[in-house]
Every structure is written in C-alpha cells, then in structure tokens.
C-alpha cells in the first residue's frame, strides 16, 4: 500500500542556487515515513520508547533526479517492504513527486533495538503488520 502526504518547500530550505538544499529531501521523507509508521503500522515512537523499544534507521540510499524550488507543492510517498532474507529489517521505498515526475527516490532501512542495548529485532506487533508487505528485491536496495 502506497501512503502519500503533501508538502510545500519552505523558504528557509532554499539555497543560493534557488533550489532546495539536498539536506532537506530526506527530512520531508522522514516526515512522511513517521506519519506512515504512526498511522498505518500503529507504532507510536514515544510510547514505544517508554517501553524500551527504539525504532532506528540502519541505512538509506537516495537518488536525486530533479530539484525542487521555492514554493513547490509536492507529494512524498512511502511503501513498506519486508527483508528478502527474513532479517529483522523493514524497508521504506519513498519518492518525492512534483507534477507527476519523480524528483527524488530513496530506500530507507529500519529496525528496532532495545533501549538497553542488544540485537536488532522487530516487535511481534510490527511483524503482524508487515506480513502482507512485498519483499524488497536486491536491485531495489
């Protein structure tokens, strides 16, 4: 299931070239991804942290295709994928889209870790929510 949110480029995110600074693309993707995690996966970061569960990123790959400009209204998508080897990882394929064109695309890798330290894992509730998610293919990484 593809999840989508809409945003507008903030003036303070524009660089001297009058395009959005590359630093901010992952931030907009994070806003969308966090909303997806809260709303669809029903994982509340604050509540889980109090229970000793931290959801963290373990990596990401991003590709910049086109630049956003001041005032652009764009969409950010988020789609969940499972790990092909059954590892305790989830993947979020995301795109930034303006006027039907992909501007930026990325794959973010996430997992959970105990607040006290220890090995990565996915809580049982999260595994249940991801059971029907497609498997991420190696070329998608």
pLDDT at 140: 61
pLDDT at 74: 98
pLDDT at 137: 87
List, in order of start, the domains of the chain with CATH numbers.
Answer: 3-136 (3.10.129.10)
Write out pLDDT tens, residues 76-97. 999 999 999 999 999 999 999 9
Identify the helix (H) or strand (E) that includes residue 30: helix 25-39
Tokens at 60, concatenated: 């990401």
pLDDT at 57: 96
98-to-11, 122, 138 alpha-carbon distances in Å: 17, 34, 27
Q: List the chain pLDDT tens, one digit each, 141 residues.
A: 899 999 999 999 999 999 999 999 999 999 999 999 999 999 999 999 999 999 999 999 999 999 999 999 999 999 999 999 999 999 999 999 999 999 999 999 999 999 999 999 999 999 998 999 999 987 564
Q: What is the dihedral of CA 38, 42, 47, 53, to 10 degrees?
A: -100
pLDDT at 32: 98
């Amino acid at each position: 299931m593809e999840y989508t949110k809409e945003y507008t480029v903030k003036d303070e995110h524009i660089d001297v070239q009058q395009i959005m600074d590359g630093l901010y693309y992952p931030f907009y993707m994070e806003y969308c991804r966090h909303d997806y995690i809260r709303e669809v996966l029903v994982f509340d970061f604050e509540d889980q942290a109090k229970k000793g569960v931290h959801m963290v990123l373990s990596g990401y790959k991003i590709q910049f295709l086109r630049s956003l400009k001041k005032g652009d209204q764009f969409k950010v998508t988020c789609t969940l994928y499972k790990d092909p080897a059954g590892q305790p990882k989830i993947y979020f394929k995301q795109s930034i889209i303006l006027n039907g064109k992909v501007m930026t695309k990325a794959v973010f890798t996430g997992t959970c870790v105990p607040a006290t330290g220890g090995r990565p894992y996915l809580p049982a509730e999260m595994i249940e929510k991801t059971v029907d998610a497609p498997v991420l293919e190696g070329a998608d990484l």
